[in-house]
Amino acid sequence: MKVLIVNTADISGGAARAAFRLHRALLGECVDSQMLVQHKNTDLPSVVGPTSRLQKIRAIASAVVDTLFLSRYPQRSKSLFSPAKAPSGTAVDRINALDPDIVHLHWVNGGMLRIEDISRIQAPVVWSLHDMWAFTGGCHYDEGCGRYGNSCGQCPLLGSSKPVDLSRQVLHRKVKALDSKSQLTVVGLSQWLAESASESALFRDRKVVNLPNLIDTSRFTPFDQTMGRELLGLPEEKKLVLFGAMGATSDPRKGFRELSKALEQIEGDHVELVVFGSSGPADSQEFPQKTHYLGQLHDDATLRALYSAVDVVVVPSRQENLSNAIMESLACGTPVVAFNIGGNPDMVEHQLSGYLAQDGDIGDFARGINWVLNHREAQKLSLHSVQTVQDRFDSKEVARKYINLYTEILNQ
């Protein structure tokens, strides 16, 4: 079986890391897997990136040109919106030239593929949804609008009041392009996203399955907390709350405002905040607690030490698919506090491996943080967190489920 995984990047970004983990797990199961990307950062020969200067320039140009279609909407939200109209160069030709048995698409925005390209892929396609974009009129998260169930238009993220706007045009392009692609299986990585896809105008008559991301539980395991704090220069005697701030201040979906308000309700100078994915602010303190900014972290070993060094990880997103941060944290034995939305309940068991606050309830989110920090049986929470990931998301077991899906498709 020859599988080609397609993603915009190999390890840069959450979807990229998830797709790359699947690629490595398939190789570990003796599957002939390759990965085609637009931006390559690894040196693995099984990852195929741009092979010429022209291809690299086209990749950058496609991403820039795609954003120009949004210039007609000056009142648009800061949330990500991808029209996927810009020419994508030779990507689909390269896919077909590699002649795979299965093409497994992941996050293909940023100029990687045009919508129309997908119908030109000759092999059967599996499409893992890392957000809502595949079945919306261009938004990656609809922020509760729900118009993807009909025909989009009057898009609140575009600040549009017109029934026929860019969002409706994009959705109609998707309907037309995918109508001729009969061999398409949609994978919702969380139960929430699988259900949302099944209810969408685009995929309600398609096969939609729920299979999660995976994680190598031999790489992400509990690490000595004291040693982790020493390695990262964090205080030994404080209760530490960890927040991943990648894009948090620019994307309201990430829940930065909700977290800031919740932290105002956490009293005592024994609690401090740790932030990764962002450097410290230039002028002012963003949070009431003393805050340690660690900047961008990329390697699994450092992330493992970080998750293990803190007492709780907070994920305040208002819409979320299947967060890598939650899965990685639980694998390292650190409980998570998050809102009871999206894919969070797939991973966090309320008051067993963390705390699921009522959607949008800042007071309940703060109670969740306090509940974890003051829990009398912290070791019990930690053990349950690790067991949850090993049972549901271990790379070997989940990879075999994907192999079974590929086999089923090919047998049909």
**Residues found in the chain:** 412
pTM: 0.94
User: 153 burial class (0-12, 13-18, 19+ CB within 10 angstroms)?
Assistant: buried
Say if residue 87's pLDDT is above 90.
no
Q: 352 versus 298: which is more confidently predicted?
A: 352
What confidence tens digit (pLDDT) does each residue in 292-303 have? Answer: 999 888 789 999
Compute the distance between CA of residue 401 and CA of residue 210 in angstroms, rounded to an integer.
Answer: 11
pLDDT tier, 250 (very low <50, low <70, confident <90, very high otherwise): low
Quick one: pLDDT at residue 57? 79
Across 47-56, 67-76, 246-255, 375-384, least confident range: 246-255
What confidence tens digit (pLDDT) does each residue in 145-168 have? Answer: 999 999 999 999 999 999 999 999
**Token output for 360:** 């949008």
User: Given strand 2-9, what is the order of strands in its sheet?
Assistant: 47-48, 32-39, 2-9, 102-105, 125-129, 184-188, 207-210
pLDDT tier, 62 (very low <50, low <70, confident <90, very high otherwise): confident
Quick one: pLDDT at residue 128? 98
Average pLDDT over residues 257-283: 86
Residue 5, SS3 per DSSP: strand
Percent of the chain with pLDDT over 90: 82
What confidence tens digit (pLDDT) does each residue in 357-387 have? Answer: 999 999 999 999 999 999 999 999 999 999 9
- All domains in the chain, ordered by first residue: 2-214+394-411 (3.40.50.2000), 225-392 (3.40.50.2000)
Quick one: pLDDT at residue 249? 60
Average pLDDT over residues 309-329: 96
In contact, 73 and 138? CB cutoff 8 Å:
no
Residue keyed to tokens 């894919």: 343
Alpha-carbon dihedral of residues 386, 279, 253, 309, nearest 10 degrees? 10
Say if residue 319's pLDDT is above 90.
yes
pLDDT tier, 66 (very low <50, low <70, confident <90, very high otherwise): confident
Say if residue 280's pLDDT is above 80.
no
Quick one: pLDDT at residue 317? 94
